[in-house]
Each structure stands twice: as C-alpha cells, then as structure tokens.
Homo-oligomer: A and B are copies of this chain.
Amino acid sequence: MAREAGVSVATASRALARYGYVKEETREKVLAAAKKLNYQYNVVAKNLRTSKTTTIGYLLPDITNPFYSRIVRGIQDVAFEEEYNVIICNNDNDIIKTERFVKMLLRHRVEGIIYSTPYNQVLNDMCDTFKKQEIPVINCYGSTRLCASDVVTGDAEKGCYQAARHLLELGHRRIAILRVKESGVSNRRFEGCRKALEDFGVEIDPRFLVDAEDFSQESGYLQAKILFSSPQKPTALIAFSEQLAIGVLKAAREDGIKVPEDLSLVGVDDIIAELLEPPLTSVVIPTYEAGRAAASLLFSRIKEENSSPPREVVLEEKLVVRKSTRGRV
C-alpha cells in the first residue's frame, strides 16, 4: 500500500490516523500517496487488530413497524456520528430467530446491544452471557424483566395522566379505558389515568374498564363493539395504543357513533394519528429520541472503564390535542 510513498507502514498508519508524532512533511507525503493509489483504509483489519469491532446490535420485533423504525433511526444517527455500525435483528418475537441472532451477534463481537423486545427465555440467557462478557445491554422500551445495564423508557404515567385530565377538563365523567392484559406499559398508563380521575374526584366505573388481549387494531375493534352494544355508553375513551384507537374508530363508524360528537377518543403512540379522520388526539411517544438516548447510553458505557451503576432515562410523553376530543355539551 502507501509504503510505496517512501515510509514505513507504521508511519503511514500514524499519518492516516493522525495520532503520535509525524512530521507535517512526511504526513503530506503519505496522504499524497494514499490519494494517488486510491487507498482505502481497511476497517476489518483494524477491527481484528484492536479487537474493537465498532459494531453494536439492535434487537427488535420488526422494523416495518413505524414505532420501531423511528427508534432504529435514532440509534443509527448517533451510531453514524460515532462511526459505529449497527446490526439490525428483526426477531418477530420468535424464540428461534432470537437465538440465531444472538449467536450471530456474538460471532460478530458486537461491543454492545440495544433491545426493544418483550421478554423471552432466550433473551434472558443472552443477557447473562453478555453480562459475563461485560458487553453492555440497553433496554429501550423493551422488557424490564431482563437485566439490562441501562434503560430508556417513557413517562407513561404522565402522558396518560394528561390524556385523562384533558378529558376531565372537557367535562367528561364517563370515561372508558381500553387497557391491555399483562402489559407493564399498559399498567403504568392506567396508573396515570387512575391518578387523574382521583384528582378530579371521579370514581372509575368498572364497566368502562376494558382489557384487550393485545395492542392490535382487531382487539380494539372487538372490545369497542362489545362496549358500544351495552346500554351504558361512555362519552370518552382512552385507548392505550394507536392501533387500538383505530379499531375503536372503525367500530364507532359502524355503530353510528360519531367521533368526537358522541365520543371523545384519545390514543397513544402518534404514528399516523394526524392522518386519521378525525385527526386523533393522542399521547406522543418520542421514539426517535428514545433511540438516540439508548445509543448514547450504550456508547458512554462502551467508552467508560469502570462500570457505573445502572442508569435510567425517562422521556417525557406529551398529549397532542387534535380533533377527536371535544367538550361535553
């Protein structure tokens, strides 16, 4: 390579990487030769030599889901600044795939991992393995049951507190809450709603407390159908995901319930909320920032020697008021 420039490999290396002492003159000579030969620095060789791969892994369910693709973008942006590479692993919440990915990441000697996936046994073992090898693991809106080094989440309680308060301030008292069974986030969101209702001295009507199977549109539709067919109808509804809210919207349309005239509706996630009809009032989760935060945490851990205690970044979740909510007349 550029040793054809009249110097040794070592000097060339120093000149290119601009470390150590190199006379300006020889430095220029090296640079000139590099350009002339169209030299391309070989990252692979450097990786092997330094046993730093400048690569991290990201485990997620599916990048096709906009919630995650925004996190990905956040991670990628800071990784790019740090000249790191990120290996994206879509596990589709599948154990087999997860296992294959984890092995792959190990073989690739990633320096750190971020995950946004729900709990599973393989992941749990993975965390142990990584911890043993002192590879930092960051939880970004993923399962809290795994032993991550650091975690970034949203202030789910606050966001939903705001959502509930918004409805209460509009005069609503019969507020239905569409939660999700066995979900940590759902529980925290509910806690926010509960507090708001308490602060306003409003009792929760158990008939308006609905538990869906999951966060999907279908579940939302199903539960809304049931709810709307009962004699006692709510005047407002908070759904704990955007998909759930869309399901509710569909059911409402079918049953001739007008939003917001007959029912004020609030969602969570804010992916396409603005494009819906009516534009959906909803709690926005700062996913892009979450990705950035997770990556920042990871890199700071990769850089520091001493293992500091676990940190937690809690991102603010805010309510955005659009046209799906209005005052009780």
Contact = CB atoms under 8 A, between A and B. Distances in A.
Contact of A90 (B42, B62, B76): B76
Of A64, A72, A249, the most chain B CB neighbours within 10 A belong to A64
B277 A40 contact: no
A184 interface: no
Interface string A29-71: 0000000000011111101100001000000001110100110
A63 B53 contact: no
A96 interface: no
Report copies per complex: 2
Contact of A69 (B48, B63, B80, B253): B63
A40 B87 CA distance: 18
B40 A107 contact: yes
Contact of A275 (B48, B66, B246): B246
A225 interface: no
Nearest to A41: B107
B109 A44 contact: yes
A85 interface: yes
A272 interface: yes
A83 B104 CA distance: 9
19 contacts: A40-B107, A44-B44, A44-B47, A44-B48, A45-B48, A63-B73, A64-B66, A64-B70, A66-B66, A66-B69, A72-B88, A80-B100, A86-B88, A88-B88, A246-B275, A253-B277, A272-B272, A272-B275, A275-B275
Interface of A: 40-45, 47-48, 53, 62-64, 66, 69-70, 72-73, 76-77, 80, 83, 85-88, 90, 100, 104, 106-109, 246, 249, 253, 272, 275-277, 288
